[in-house]
């Protein structure tokens, strides 16, 4: 799903600059509790002011180089793209993003998840970290909750007890959700639905999650940022120079995916210089993006489908004509009630079906 993360640092700096001194003095604490091997730690934010938090960006500079860092969110419904890791000169900068359509926190506490350092790291955590918190509609929270957070680190010691709560298991959770034997956890996706197998496929491969713990929202619109983020994750989240779109700022969860996709010619913006990440993606836009992605992957894109069989084929935009013909010919896109509906929104169920056809069919992914 799209538990979205934005870090509007410029706006937040202005907010912090105008915050009352009493509020600015109050700040959250980042609690890092190591597991038995001292190579991974459970992260949580405490001492929050109780405001509903819908987005988090956490920035840490660790002592030591940990290029294999990986983060697994505590919530199965939270959207969390791969954490950004930069290891050099004896230090590692880690940036973690989380977002959700419902509050991430419970009162004054927010359980982030597990950070695996892929190496001994009991002494790695700094004294402070940078935290950016966002409220409803991903608007910056006012007050003293955004800014510097004190770090409290608790390495594992044999025989020692944790400060609070039950002992954590030494094993790590699987970062990719698995479809349980009894079926998907979504009440709105049932066996026999035309999209059931596709949703199970994208869910089990970590491409798409639910929009809540028990709903997938199959008929909700898919936005432009999300499809680019999915493709970026399929490629292992490669780095790229920032894109020049006027509405894609550094720190937004989709900034790196959009930068990569733009650099590789997979996406294009609008004439006004915007990318419009939150706009619902249309069926012809989705075809165009996947067409360019297929070329990027070296797939044969010469196959052409007969668009003439669809009465609304003339309404396909000129830029998307070749892409739509390929998508039809490759079996990715079929008509709905005998029509292409090129300007119609691509819903989440439709996107799941198309992604399954692309990955399992053309890319030969298991």
Residue 163 or residue 93, greater confidence: 93
pLDDT at 169: 35
pLDDT at 90: 83
Mean pLDDT of 264-293: 94
For 236-275, how does the pLDDT look when each residue is reduced to its tens digit (9 = 90+)?
888 888 888 999 987 788 899 999 999 999 999 999 999 9
pLDDT at 291: 96
For 314-340, how does the pLDDT look when each residue is reduced to its tens digit (9 = 90+)?
999 999 999 999 999 999 998 788 899
pLDDT at 353: 94
Q: How confident is the model at residue 178 (pLDDT cuts 50, 70, 90)?
A: low
pLDDT at 23: 37
φ/ψ (deg, to 5) at 273: 85, 5
pLDDT at 246: 92
Torsion angle, alpha carbons of 310, 280, 77, 82, to 10: 100
Range in 53-62, 102-111, 153-162 the model is least confident about: 153-162
pLDDT at 174: 35
Distance from C-alpha of 282 to C-alpha of 289, rounded to nearest angstrom: 11
Which of 203, 175, 177, 176 has its CA nearest to residue 189? 203
pLDDT at 339: 92
Token pair, residue 271, equals 């004439």
Residues of the chain above pLDDT 70, percent:
85
Beta bridge pairs of residue 61: 93
For 135-144, how does the pLDDT look when each residue is reduced to its tens digit (9 = 90+)?
887 777 766 6
C-alpha distance from residue 13 to each of 17, 132, 145 (Å): 6, 10, 12
φ/ψ (deg, to 5) at 33: -110, 110
Q: How confident is the model at residue 3 (pLDDT cuts 50, 70, 90)?
A: very low
pLDDT at 27: 74
- pTM value is 0.54
Q: How confident is the model at residue 9 (pLDDT cuts 50, 70, 90)?
A: very low
Calculate ∠ Cα 40-41-43, nearest 5°.
145
Structural domains in the chain?
A: 9-154 (2.60.40), 196-362 (no CATH)
Residue-averaged pLDDT of the chain: 82
pLDDT at 26: 59
pLDDT at 253: 85
């Amino acid at each position: 799903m799209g538990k979205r993360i934005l870090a509007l640092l410029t706006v937040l700096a202005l907010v912090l600059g105008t915050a009352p001194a009493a509020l600015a003095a109050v700040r959250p604490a980042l609690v890092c509790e190591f597991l038995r091997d001292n190579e991974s730690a459970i992260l949580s934010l405490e001492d929050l002011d109780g405001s509903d938090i819908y987005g988090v960006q956490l920035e840490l500079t660790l002592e030591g180089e940990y290029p294999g860092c990986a983060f697994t969110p505590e919530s199965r419904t939270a959207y969390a793209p791969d954490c950004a890791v930069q290891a050099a000169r004896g230090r590692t900068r880690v940036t973690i993003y989380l977002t959700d359509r419902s509050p991430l926190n419970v009162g004054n506490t927010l359980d982030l998840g597990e950070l695996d350092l892929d190496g001994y790291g009991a002494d790695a955590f700094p004294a402070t970290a940078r935290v950016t918190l966002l409220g409803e509609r991903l608007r910056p929270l006012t007050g003293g909750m955004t800014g510097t957070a004190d770090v409290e680190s608790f390495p594992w010691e044999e025989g020692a007890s944790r400060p609070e709560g039950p002992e954590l298991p030494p094993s790590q959770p699987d970062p990719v959700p698995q479809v349980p034997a009894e079926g998907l956890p979504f009440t709105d996706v049932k066996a026999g639905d035309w999209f059931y197998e596709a949703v199970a496929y994208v869910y089990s491969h970590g491409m798409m999650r639910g929009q809540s713990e028990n709903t997938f929202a199959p008929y909700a619109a898919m936005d432009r940022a999300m499809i680019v983020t999915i493709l970026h994750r399929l490629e292992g989240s490669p780095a790229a120079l920032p894109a020049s779109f006027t509405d894609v700022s550094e720190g937004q969860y989709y900034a790196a995916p959009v930068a990569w996709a733009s650099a590789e010619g997979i996406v294009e913006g609008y004439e006004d210089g915007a990318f419009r990440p939150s706009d619902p993606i249309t069926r012809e836009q989705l075809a165009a993006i996947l067409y360019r992605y297929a070329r990027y992957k070296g797939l044969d894109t010469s196959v052409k489908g007969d668009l003439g069989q669809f009465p609304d084929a003339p309404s396909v935009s000129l830029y998307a004509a070749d892409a739509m013909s390929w998508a039809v010919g490759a079996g990715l896109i079929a008509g709905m009630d005998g029509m292409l509906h090129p300007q119609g929104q691509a819903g989440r169920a439709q996107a799941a079906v198309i992604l399954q056809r692309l990955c399992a069919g053309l890319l030969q992914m298991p």
